[in-house]
Structure 1
Amino acid sequence: MYGTVVSTERLTPHLVRVVLGGEGLADFQDPPFADSYVNAFFLPEGARYQPPFEDEATRDLPRDQRPYPRRYTVRAWDPERRELTIDFVVHGEVGYAGRWALHACPGDRLQLRGPAGDYSPPADVDAVLLVGDESALPAIAACAEQVRDGMPVRAVIEVEDADEEVELTSPGALEVHFVHRGGAQDEESLTRLLADAVAALPRLEGVVTAFVHGEAESIRAVGHALRDGGLASREHVSLSPYWRRGLTDEGWRSVKRDWVRRLQGEMA
């Protein structure tokens, strides 16, 4: 399965929206969850193949010639137009995915697999708490759009500065709190930024579901803050580390399973 670039839009200095369409998405299924994602496959420089391609055809290639898989949230899916929207965090020419998004033009193709997912805001809770950084912003925005009318929804989002803030919409009673890193490089301060912001806000009333996704150590700190402060019970908390500071995507993939297992033990 593949998508063909229909349009691109620079939402913020570090956030690029890409809309994909075309016959390659004919079999794309409606995303089953608010945080549904696709696996996208980015080609290395000099690749002698282009989408669409069979996965099996690339498995025997040298590592530096195989596509690089990256997971991205389905920001939106238009079933009538058969168009898929994905938002990419970009940091100049760094990273296969960000570089591709930065230079994507109408007609370019992107190999995809999915969608899959795990979380949608349940209807039988009293309030929704959405926490994360830029990497989780598309999922946070999608979750905010999929709550019942009038439900209290609080989003706490870490971004670099005011230029990276985006508008969120929701049928619920939405409040959005952007937390700015402001160029801080101290590891402990960065790790505590979201957790401290969540703990400082007034307690949400009733049964709260919490969606906490983003940088690994930051979401761990938020998880502990929720547990220690009695802000949300474990069965109503979704914790998912998308990346880890100081590690490449491949490096994080190699240790993620063990890291998640330890986190689950801490939260039990």
Structure 2
Amino acid sequence: MHGRVARTERLTPGMVRVVLHGGDLEDLVMPDATDAYVNAAFRPAGASYDEVFDPKAVRETAPQGEWPARRRFTVRTWDAGSSELTLDFVVHADEGVASGWALNARPGDPLVFEGPNGGYRPSAASAWHLLVGDESALPAIAASLESLSPAGRAVVRVVCDGPEYQVDLESPADLDLRWLHRHGDERDESLLLAAVEAVEFGDGRPFGFVHGEADEIRAVRRHLLQERGLTRRDLSCSPYWRRTMTDEAWRRIKREYVAAMEAEALAS
């Protein structure tokens, strides 16, 4: 499946919004999930195949050096009426594959992807909702907050680089939102955990949506399971990236890391 860039917007110094339309988006089927994601495929420069391609066919027929780079992105919004798909890209100064594409995207540029898939939507059965993460989790957190009812309660803790990196987060629910600003040193690694440790849970069991940097997410998950009495069924946790690792290096070890994280939870 593919869409073409309709327009882009620089939301913050570290985030670019890309709105796709056209292509075959009229055939897109969106799952009932606020963490819906697409698996984008970025064609390397000089590849011998067309700019619109079938990723599976390319892997079967093209040399490995021409295989597209794969990255997952959470859907910010899907407008079925206009067939417009909005994706928010976290961009970096080093311009990785996805960052470089988003920073340089122009109207008409294609983006090939598979999906969307997803599995989380806040349930009205939860007493309240705990949403925790960093910039990479913002699209899912924003979509989740917008889906809540006025009777709901949401506690949100988000790490970012500073006030200019914050985005508007709104919800019909009672919203307790706090932004945590990085210092640029080793203190950053515990910002999220300390913020969650300070949350007053009160009555009722929350459902926790905890997504972002791998080691930070693992620490928060451990705290929620071992010290707050939540169970694995009360959590949606996913490490999107890992500090000091490139995207490709992280992709190579992610499966093993998640398995270790799960084994840790089972042993607790």
Q: TM-score range by the shorter chain?
A: over 0.9
- Name the CA distance, whole Å, in 2 between partners of 1:213 and 1:204: 23
CA distance in 2 between partners of 1:115 and 1:227 (Å): 30
Q: Do the aligned partners of residues 107 and 129 (structure 1) sit closer, same or farther apart at CA in structure 2, a change above 3 Å counting?
A: same
Unaligned runs of 5+ in 2: none
Q: How far does residue 227 in structure 1 lie from its aligned partner after superposition? A: 2.2
Tell me the alpha carbon deviations over residues 65-101 of structure 1, each in whole angstroms, 9 at most, x when there is no partner: 2211100001100000000000000013421101000
> 2:146 corresponds to which residue?
145
- Tell me how large the CA RMSD over aligned residues is: 1.5
Cα offset for 1:224?
1.6
**Aligned counterpart, 1:217:** 215
| 1:113-148 Cα deviation digits (max 9, x unpaired) | 101012111110110000001111111111111122
Q: Which residues in structure 2 correspond to 1:31-50 (within 5 Å)?
A: 31-50=31-50
Matches within 5 A, 1:38-187: 38-59=38-59, 60-184=61-185, 186=186
Amino acid at match of 2:14: H
CA distance in 2, matches of 1:67, 1:204: 48
Q: Per-residue deviation at 1:55?
A: 2.5
The alignment partner of 2:114 has SS state of strand
Name the stretch that deviates more: 22-31 or 213-222: 22-31
Structure 1 stretch displaced more, 127-136 or 256-265:
256-265
2: CA distance between counterparts of 1:57 and 1:235?
37
Retained in 1: the 8 A contact 2:41–2:55? no
Size of the aligned set, in residue pairs, is 265
In the alignment, what sits opposite 1:205? 203
Q: Does 1:2 align with 2:13?
A: no
Q: Which moved more, 1:240-249 or 1:60-69?
A: 60-69
Task: Give the distance between the partners of 1:46 and 1:175, measured in 2 at CA.
Answer: 49
In structure 1, how many angstroms separate the alpha carbons of the residues matched to 2:171 and 2:126?
Answer: 16
TM-score normalised by length of structure 2: 0.94
**Helix, strand or coil: the match of 1:145?**
helix
Structure 1: stretches of 5+ with no match in the other structure:
none
Q: CA deviation at 1:46?
A: 2.1
Q: Which residue of 2 aligns with 1:17?
A: 17
User: AA paired with 1:16?
Assistant: V
Partners of 1:220 and 1:179 lie apart in 2 by 18
Matches of 1:231 and 1:157, distance apart in 2 = 22
Mapped to 1, the partners of 2:89 and 2:53 lie a distance apart of 23
Aligned-partner residue type, residue 110 of structure 2: R
Distance 1:105 1:80 in 2: 23
Which letter does structure 2 place at the counterpart of 1:261? Answer: A
Q: Is residue 126–residue 208 contact of structure 1 (8 Å, CA) maintained in 2?
A: yes
Counterpart residue identity of residue 133, structure 1: D
